[in-house]
Structure 1
């Protein structure tokens, strides 16, 4: 599938959103063709704002939601995607598209504003309006917690069946081997957080001191922020910043986690908490507050313990000491932490659940398929295996392998095979079919949404033939953003034939010096091609049809290279007269 990843933040930058977007994007990239969308729209809105209101006036993307809606609506009209994954409510609120949209996040505007305590009524009202519009517009919503899901249902009237809860994963590249922790030396506490006050840094220090006062040797490592004032204690080590995107930073981070026994996180607010996933990967129990969406990541008694927001530091210390002095119980809890990571809190699990969801949404939205007749000579086993592989895992096609008609002249054999397929289609009363040769392969431009959109729109324009890609042509006239009328074409490796052309093809008397693509070019006037090509021909080093292609290996690929270059030039000229969005 071809997916637009609609985000104001760059998903390829690991520093954005604590790396969460980065890991989402790269795990989706394993299975789909992803395109980051939204950057240009945001930059143009910022530029407009600066030119009209000056540098000193703060830019608020919410105020440009209607503009974003218009720009993105136009964009998705021209650029065809199978799905859109959207992170920002101001992008989605006024977007109008038939493409399914998955709205993804870890909180709602209502929940976030409850923590921020925003008192600016106009600003809050606008944010609430955009959030509700985005939730209602979305085809499906994915949150990281039940906490966020319940807010969408209770505050924004979202249908429960259109919301899925899929936990985020640990933002680490190298999954550690679980070996347990040595509990014979000092008890090593760990605190991670950029916002010292909000993340409860002072209470973490109080927990550390309470453990020490009760006679347990203890250390505290602080990552991400600097206490003010800095405690004068040799057992407290501070790393104001560790860059996990660097090899050195990642190594240091891993070393600290391997030596830590507890993650202390008495935070005032958290939507989910990636750091809890990371701690669980190392078998480190988490002691944190039961606020926000934390209970989705930290299951009480499984991979940590949840405390009331006003619980004193001594409660944390008592739990630490109780477990630390009972080695077996601590070891069992460490194993439970790792198990919870392996079953819920890692990006591979997120990837699988998202894949299942995206496929089900796309299948539910389309609910259609097109019959494909792939022509193959039975002795060409290599080509048969190739063409079968091309259609594996593509439920949008009903695949039929058709034994080719043989003839001493390959061109006649191919035409007879096409006639054979047309007769089969007429018997099945098909309205539209794909005829495919066994050297066809899908390019990176292929997507089901693009193909079905072009088939529908070409039909509305009276097309009788639509090609997925051609190796040569005469004149090409744009009749759609991805569709061109051509006067003649070479190559028949992937052609959509409409029923209106069936009798025309069957009634033609094929001559010895004819070629299939030449005849189809002559007898069918309204013929079109999709560009960028979704199909091209694989060069097997020989041809079943054209003798010239056998004498010059690589000639087929050269034809497509030239055709692509010509279309690229035509497309460049076309884009000069087409709006950007």
Structure 2
């Protein structure tokens, strides 16, 4: 075994650019580098027949809105996928790599190489079908392509790492992959971390006990449950608990003029230093991150909230139950739950505010013990060593 593990880190985009995939591929790469793993980046792949297939996708999606056709997704088309594989293979021939590693299945689904292939991602294709709005009403061609891609990636890989139990279970259930080939390692927080226990205690104890500050942080108002978050804030105010709802990432879709307790801030770029400072300040000042998602994979924003000692309130859909553990770093509710249960939970914590402070500190402990990239990187390195 070589003294230094060398990995070919494969993406279709530039993984060094923190703006891609909300910075997840960038932070994932750093988590491996911090484990003394040498990375050779392979990315910025060219999309074959781009204009033709983009046109096909545009027309099919336009017709699907008029109920005249079903949606076609070009990124699962074997023409593109096999072209990606050839590009990766060509670049691999010039590198000395022990393992081919990717934060997704798309660039390695049809890759032929001597090195063991490993991927670490948050979802399977079948997990997305009829779950996310973009993956509803898909054409039979796209479903065949997507399933073939996923099955091929799982067959070729030595190890399939997922960020949640839900994603891992869909791989076993829909694609028949051996359970021993599948592992679960949660992602970390895509923000810089330099806070200790004393810092968090100061942050938590600085939050007012007479005003509940809810933070909704998501780009899709309905999929992320913004309408539920609004109703929860409204009812808490009706119950006599002064409550604010700050909305970041999208515009609230509610009747205007907005009530005084709603504070819409729009989209804030976390990739900019000013935007990051603003989001960090909002997280530090908030009592809860509330994201009652209808569909989600592994929202990293929960890890980011926990890094500030902020408990999270969400639903038991997708990969969320792997991140949020009841009364340790927040609480998850059934997707069919009415707003009264959210309100009762929040109100009870403010009725005995020491319970809230305990939950907030416990949330930071969950971040420190399992929801950060350092722990994730250590865990994945052990898995890589076992493969080698």
TM-score (norm 1): 0.59
1:18 aligns with 2:18: no
What SS does structure 2 have at the residue aligned with 1:102?
A: strand
- Which among 285, 297, 313 is matched to residue 287 of structure 1? 313
Distance 1:224 1:252 in 2: 12
Aligned to 2:55: 56
Distance 2:32 2:337 in 1: 40
Distance 2:164 2:53 in 1: 40
Aligned to 2:40: 35
Show CA shifts across 1:155-199 (max 9, x none). Answer: 111111222211111111133331124343311111110011111
TM superposition shift of 1:78: 4.1
Contact 1:189-1:221 at 8 Å conserved across structures:
yes
TM superposition shift of 1:281: 1.1
**What is the root-mean-square deviation in Å for CA atoms of aligned residues?**
1.8
TM superposition shift of 1:120: 0.8
Aligned to 2:102: 86
Show CA shifts across 1:448-505 (max 9, x none). Answer: xxxxxxxxxxxxxxxxxxxxxxxxxxxxxxxxxxxxxxxxxxxxxxxxxxxxxxxxxx
TM superposition shift of 1:87: 3.0
Unaligned runs of at least 5 residues, structure 2: 58-72
Aligned to 2:244: 219
Q: How does 1:75-154 map to 2 (within 5 A)?
A: 75-115=91-131, 116-154=135-173
Alignment CA distance shift 1:171-1:54 (3 Å) = closer
1:171 aligns with 2:193: no
Show CA shifts across 1:58-89 (max 9, x none). Answer: 48233222233333334334433111112342
Aligned to 1:255: 281
TM-score (norm 2): 0.87
Contact 1:186-1:218 at 8 Å conserved across structures:
yes
Larger Rg: 1
What SS does structure 2 have at the residue aligned with 1:114?
A: coil
Unaligned runs of at least 5 residues, structure 1: 363-581
Aligned to 1:298: 324
- Which among 165, 187, 203 is matched to residue 228 of structure 2? 203
Distance 1:105 1:184 in 2: 39
Contact 2:224-2:295 at 8 Å conserved across structures:
yes
What SS does structure 2 have at the residue aligned with 1:189?
A: strand
Aligned to 2:63: none
Structure with higher RCO (Cα < 8 A, 6+ apart): 2
Structure 1 outlier segments of 4+, above 6 Å: none
Contact 2:210-2:241 at 8 Å conserved across structures:
no
Show CA shifts across 1:523-576 (max 9, x none). Answer: xxxxxxxxxxxxxxxxxxxxxxxxxxxxxxxxxxxxxxxxxxxxxxxxxxxxxx
What SS does structure 2 have at the residue aligned with 1:178?
A: helix
